[in-house]
Structure 1
Amino acid sequence: MAVWFVFVVPLVIMLFALFMERVETRLRNGAVREDEVTQLLEDVRPDEVRALQVSGIGRALELFRLRRRGGRAARTRQRVRM
């Protein structure tokens, strides 16, 4: 009976470690960076404030990122035209 524990316990520990690695990866990808929140609060627009109030920080940051990406794309297009 003790022989089964020798094989089962390490197997259970390895499976648990693999499961926790998947959980950690999902948490790391969904994490909000501190500098993004700081930038959002410094340069916020009314629609982002509304999204922050209604839907939370995730939606507000999503709108902020879209606005920032759009702003960069517009500036790049202007440079190309010149």
Structure 2
Amino acid sequence: MEEVIRYLSAFILPGLLVLLFTRVTYNRYIGLALTVGLIAASVYKGYTNTFPLIVIDALSLTAGFWLAAKVKQRVLKKT
């Protein structure tokens, strides 16, 4: 059960963190950098200890970065 939670968290949380940091800093590159820093810290501390988890984190980061661009386009279109 613990492994399922790790994989689900790796699939969802990095993308959400990119979106959150992008909304707070108004810059998607800074949001991405902050999230990569958090993931690097978790890898260093040993919480992300397998290669598939790192790959899933990277996919989620990419999806979050892409979604942040789409949200930015939508916001700019409204104004």
Q: State the TM-score, normalizing by the size of structure 1.
A: 0.37
TM-score when normalising by structure 2 = 0.38
